[in-house]
């Protein structure tokens, strides 16, 4: 069973991931003239490329320091957000 502190920490992380998803959708819609109304990726290939880029940025932080920096945490949140966005775009949640 989770402790209250673990629940609070998990909720805070999930809020940060949700904010990152919303931010990514907004940035994408501002960059291109056409955006799907739900903000989905245009293709699984695009989703893979974005996930790979975010993961590589996190890996650089891990290699350059212990991976516990603020920047590394932000990159990890971006990886999580893009993975969730992928499932929202293409996952069979059936």
CA distance 88 to 39: 10
CA distance 27 to 45: 19
Residues 6+ positions from 89 with CB-CB distance below 8 Å: 40, 41, 47
The pLDDT tens digits for 9-35 are 899 999 988 888 888 766 655 554 444
Three-state SS at 40: coil
- Contact assessment for residue 77 and residue 17, using Cβ atoms and an 8 Å cutoff: yes
* pLDDT attached to residue 59: 96
The pLDDT tens digits for 28-75 are 555 544 445 556 778 889 889 989 999 999 999 999 988 889 999 999
CA distance 20 to 66: 23
Q: Model pTM greater than 0.95? A: no
pLDDT band at residue 84 using 50, 70 and 90 as cut-offs: confident
* pLDDT attached to residue 88: 82
């Amino acid at each position: 069973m989770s402790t209250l502190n673990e629940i609070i920490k998990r909720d805070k992380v999930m809020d940060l991931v949700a904010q990152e998803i919303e931010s990514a959708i907004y940035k994408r819609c501002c960059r291109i003239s056409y955006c799907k109304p739900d903000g989905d990726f245009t293709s699984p290939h695009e989703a893979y490329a974005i996930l790979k880029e975010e993961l590589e940025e996190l890996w650089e932080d891990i290699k350059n320091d212990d991976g516990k920096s603020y920047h590394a945490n932000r990159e990890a949140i971006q990886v999580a957000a893009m993975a969730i966005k992928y499932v929202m775009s293409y996952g069979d949640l059936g």
